[in-house]
């Protein structure tokens, strides 16, 4: 027995030592991965700042779950934080090592109009500082060209070209599918223009929704084309917009030739020609590859000079993405997470004011109210509150903006959508097709309601609609108090209608036009801080430790967005339409609670390229409705 015990003890000690060694091995591998993944400030030397944007620009990149990516075999699309690009360009203006800036837009997937306009303004400042800006892509469409227009020289591949299409298009309506499957969508809403739920009720778009969206699209596209015309005054793109088919046929389908002759681009050449051109001007790369020039990355430049921290801090809190209940990492506005950041700023005695940066289409009413109450608590402590609206601040995004002393928006901001809704599916008719019916005994008219597997009773419908109407009245009341208007005045511009920033300013929904810099300056003014005696301090949700550890250990493989010609970009748009289809069908089945959500705002930014889809996920969504 003694020998057996000794053997078992040695075995247990061996297992312990093995596990300890494995833990240390994993720890040091993860530490090595973290260190090697960090940008190298030493790589910054005389040469070109290369902005190689292989993905989209967002206000707050979403956290990546590496395990989910591995299990679903769906790589996320990389997102670039707008303020990182802005700071890199600010540094480029005054850094003698930066001789020029190159925009590689071959794999660029876009961003919101406000984000692109802000980056464009910084590119103009770089040029005024005497540093050329160069842009290259196989093909340009709206978002890519909005950035490229600010370049000193625009290159395009001879096999590519430029094609501007403008916002808008069609969306899907599911009334016919629901009728065929027997699924009933019980929708409770208030607002003539609350068209978010129309796809479940109609087979086409209502006249009211067309009127509202047409007005917003016209203003939105007008500000975009005006910005392009200002940045690129010699570009003659009016003919292409007026009659694109005739313009393209006139050059026998040679879009590159059309782009050059219309002044939309300056030179035709492939990537190697572009690289050789820059190498001749700014030096060849040490890698000695054909078409490579001396360059360094945005991350390396940012790492070479940390932001200044002089003076008192102004807290900047970002509410980006859908507003949801509970907790979440970056890229989502979770009620618990965002409100906790606000309370953390309140408890920090050094913080003199709060700027809330909003880029959200809304979502949960309860989470929106949770964030609003946290801001009200900040006001109770006499902290100035300034809201800076980015691409989207609609519905719930407007709800959380109401406590501000001052609200800033930009011409391309989409806001308003003051209205709420709820949606519940019922499958009674669908199940009846298979001989499944329901019956029972009730002790009250609402017993067993809502009966999602049977028929929702008229009594429940009346109760739910009444609750939604009360919620809408609450929304109007909060807006009227915040904006010093009567509920009737607010109702006249509410009803779920969306507005572009300039019109929202005229209607009194926002106070001033301007971006994050103007909002920070206003916050400093309200806090009575001197011009150079403050700095922004960003309060942001921290990524989950386990996810961050695994990301460094296994690595995050972003989707490889290859260079795209016009047909490839059209395919990407088709993929996004499929994403929208899946999301629409999924929402009918998964929406929880009353929603202050602008679903029709999806085309205006705020992580519109964030979700991925596949034919399998589309099939699954339809099967959920059919089974």
Which positions are annotated as active-site residues? Answer: 194, 395
In 228-302, beta strands by DSSP E: 267-268, 295-297
List the Cα angle 564/570/575 in 5-degree steps: 100
| Alpha-carbon gap, residue 81 to 357, rounded angstroms | 13
Do the Cβ atoms of 385 and 353 come closer than 8 Å? yes
Nearest to 133 by CA among 148, 117, 111: 148
Chain centroid offset of residue 220 CA: 17
| Alpha-carbon gap, residue 80 to 104, rounded angstroms | 14
- H or E segment at 207? helix 207-231
Q: What are phi and psi of 186, to 5 degrees?
A: -90, 110
Q: Answer left, alpha or beta for residue 620, where phi above 0 means left and psi between -120 and 50 means alpha.
A: alpha
- Maximum separation of any 2 CA atoms in the chain, in Å: 96
List the Cα angle 591/593/598 in 5-degree steps: 65
- Name beta bridge partners: 135: 103, 154
Supply 99's token pair: 């001789």
Chain centroid offset of residue 269 CA: 33
Contacts of 550 (CB under 8 A, 6+ apart): 66, 67
List the Cα angle 316/317/320 in 5-degree steps: 130
């Amino acid at each position: 027995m003694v020998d057996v015990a000794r053997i078992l003890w040695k075995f247990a000690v061996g297992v312990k030592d093995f596990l300890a060694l494995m833990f240390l091995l994993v720890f040091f591998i993860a530490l090595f991965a973290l260190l090697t993944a960090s940008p190298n400030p030493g790589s910054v030397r005389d040469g070109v700042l290369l902005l190689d944007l292989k993905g989209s620009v967002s206000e707050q990149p979403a956290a990546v779950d590496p395990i989910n990516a591995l299990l679903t075999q769906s790589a996320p699309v990389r997102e670039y934080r707008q303020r990182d690009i802005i700071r890199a360009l600010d540094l480029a203006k005054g850094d003698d090592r930066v001789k020029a800036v190159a925009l590689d837009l071959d794999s660029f997937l876009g961003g919101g109009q406000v984000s692109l306009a802000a980056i464009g303004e910084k590119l103009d400042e770089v040029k005024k500082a005497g540093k050329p800006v160069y842009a290259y892509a196989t093909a340009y469409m709206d978002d890519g060209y909005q950035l490229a227009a600010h370049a000193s020289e625009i290159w395009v591949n001879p096999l590519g070209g430029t094609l501007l299409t403008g916002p808008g298009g069609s969306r899907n309506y599911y009334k016919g599918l629901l009728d065929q499957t027997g699924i009933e969508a019980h929708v409770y809403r208030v607002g003539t223009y609350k068209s978010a739920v129309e796809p479940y009720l109609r087979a086409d778009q209502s006249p009211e929704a067309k009127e509202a969206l047409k007005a917003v699209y016209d203003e939105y596209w007008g500000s975009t084309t005006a910005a392009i015309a200002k940045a690129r005054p010699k570009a003659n793109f009016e003919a292409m917009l007026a009659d694109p088919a005739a313009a393209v046929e006139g050059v026998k389908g040679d879009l590159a030739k059309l782009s050059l002759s219309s002044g939309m681009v300056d030179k035709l050449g492939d990537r190697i020609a572009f690289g050789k051109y820059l190498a001749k001007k700014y030096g060849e790369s040490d890698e000695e590859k054909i078409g490579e020039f001396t360059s360094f990355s945005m991350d390396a430049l940012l790492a070479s000079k940390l932001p200044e921290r002089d003076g008192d801090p102004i807290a900047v809190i970002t509410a980006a993405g859908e507003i949801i209940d509970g907790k979440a990492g970056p890229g989502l506005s979770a009620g618990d997470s965002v409100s906790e950041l606000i309370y953390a700023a309140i408890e920090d005695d050094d913080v003199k004011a709060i700027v809330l940066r909003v880029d959200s289409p809304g979502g949960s009413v309860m989470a929106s109210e949770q964030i609003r109450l946290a801001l009200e608590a900040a006001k109770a402590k006499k902290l100035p509150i300034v809201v800076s609206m980015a691409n989207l601040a609609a519905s719930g995004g407007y709800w959380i903006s109401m406590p501000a002393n001052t609200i800033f928006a930009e011409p391309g901001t989409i806001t308003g959508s003051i209205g709420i809704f709820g949606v519940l599916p019922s499958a009674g008719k669908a199940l009846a097709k298979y001989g499944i019916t329901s019956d029972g005994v009730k002790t009250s008219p609402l017993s067993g309601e809502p009966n999602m597997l049977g028929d929702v009773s008229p009594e429940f419908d009346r109760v739910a609609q009444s609750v939604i109407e009360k919620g809408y009245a609450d929304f109007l009341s909060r807006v009227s108090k915040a904006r010093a208007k009567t509920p009737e005045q607010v109702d006249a511009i509410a009803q779920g209608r969306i507005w572009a920033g300039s019109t929202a300013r005229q209607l009194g929904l926002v106070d001033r036009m301007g971006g994050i810099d103007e909002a920070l300056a206003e916050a400093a003014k309200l806090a009575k801080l001197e011009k150079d005696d403050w700095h922004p301090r960003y309060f942001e949700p921290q990524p989950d430790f386990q996810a961050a550890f695994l990301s460094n250990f296994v690595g995050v493989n972003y989707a490889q967005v290859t260079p795209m010609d016009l047909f490839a970009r059209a395919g990407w748009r088709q993929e996004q339409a499929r994403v929208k289809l899946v999301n629409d069908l999924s929402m009918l089945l998964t929406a929880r609670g009353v929603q202050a959500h602008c679903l029709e705002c999806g085309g205006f930014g705020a992580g519109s390229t964030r979700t991925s889809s596949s034919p399998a996920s589309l099939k699954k969504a339809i099967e959920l409705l059919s089974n």
